Chain A
């Protein structure tokens, strides 16, 4: 009985080590295995079984990452970090601005030639010229200046002179995009 207990514990140890891939052949040569090998050979071939278990593979599977961006959990209004989900019903405007793949508002700033500041609104669908008119009105109220804008219908983008990303993001979120 003591022999079988030692045998079973040795099998468990071997199985555990194999599953965790501890390939330390050079550093550790435990005497127990050698002793057990002689023991097993002395006992007979009937007791030497290799147990294959795939239950420990869950430790590997939980490390494999997902490939898709997860859908954010439901929030009523802004989340603690300040992120606001888009409204359920798209606003009744002639244009639509989709969220980026990370669920953010697609307004970006750009700095070229060291001092040329522009703000870019991407992913505009529908009537871009209506959006341009609204953006110009809003920025006129904000700054009092008539800012130059560039509409690119092919790439569905709107470029405005100056850095207005925070203001435009807040404005678009208020609209419900």
Chain B
């Protein structure tokens, strides 16, 4: 173990020496990924040839701002393990190419973790501990320290003076637009880091989980996959296949959230899911402020 620690220290020192010699080229130490976590094959997989004219299967429904242009990505299938790309899809830049604000992502992630938290830690205060109403011995003359009750906090078995008190709720709500911006930033980061894949439908030939794992390994997608579709009825095969898998999960599009996107490495959207998300997320950019809750009717809710 000592030898291992020495070699680790040695590697660390050599890395620091290398960075000081090579100047600004080497990555800073907090951005360097250990070699066993880097998938070399993924970095070296060839992208589809850019000269092949693939049809654009979907244009943006909403108006794209004049100074921006839609981002594009390929549409794939899950039918066969080694099928080619079917076409291209236009993604709205205000949803899939927003500037990355890691602080907003952090805020939304913390909110998601904490707003549901109810801490049920509870301790008894000196008045709640059983007993301790009577003065243990007289004030003067017994030779002992003066006390008023046997359950004061300085006594063994006494109450806790500043402990947790009862179920405490950590509920708070971030503004709606901050949460929406968090979703947009997460989607944009996934696309920018090459971890977003668009698929035409979720129909797979077999309900075998091994087929999905093979497909993911073959296409070098990543370790964990989050598959998103619209609607309550998802195809039976994909539901059965992902039921037993821990790292591959299917959710409906209304269940998309920043924590799941950060937890899973790869995000797979269907074309309907892309349309749904763009519709819902872009509405927040052009809506009035709340007149009354959105559960009540408005003429043109998304």
Interface residues of chain A, those whose CB is within 8 Å of chain B, are 61, 64-69, 88-90, 96, 98, 101, 125, 154, 156
Contacts and interface: CB of A to CB of B under 8 A. Distances in A.
A67 B301 contact: yes
B298 A69 contact: no
18 contacts: A61-B299, A64-B298, A65-B288, A65-B298, A66-B300, A67-B283, A67-B288, A67-B294, A67-B299, A68-B283, A68-B288, A69-B286, A69-B288, A89-B66, A90-B66, A90-B67, A154-B101, A154-B103
Interface string B272-293: 0000000000010111100100
A5 B165 CA distance: 75
Nearest to A99: B65
A89 B65 CA distance: 11
Contacts of A64: 297-299
Contact of B300 (A68, A88, A125): A68
B67 A65 contact: no
B66 A67 contact: no
B99 interface: yes
Nearest to B289: A101
Interface of B: 65-67, 99, 101, 103, 283, 285-288, 291, 294, 297-301
Contacts, number: 41
A66 B103 contact: no
A65 B288 CA distance: 10
Dominant secondary structure at the A interface = loop
Given A101-B285, A156-B99, A66 B298 contact: yes
Nearest to A60: B297
A61 B297 CA distance: 10
Contacts of B103: 154
A65 B299 contact: yes
Contacts of B294: 67
B300 A67 contact: yes
A49 B149 CA distance: 81
Nearest to B292: A65
A158 to B, nearest CB: 15
A90 to B, nearest CB: 4
Contact of A88 (B66, B101, B291): B66
Nearest to B63: A71
A102 to B, nearest CB: 9
Contacts of A69: 286-288
A138 to B, nearest CB: 22
Contacts of B99: 156
**Which 7 A-B pairs rank lowest in CB-CB distance, beginning with the nearest?**
A67-B298, A90-B67, A66-B299, A96-B67, A67-B287, A64-B299, A68-B286
A101 B177 CA distance: 13
Nearest to B102: A154
Contacts of A96: 67
Nearest to A62: B299
A64 B291 CA distance: 11
Contacts of B301: 67
Nearest to B298: A67
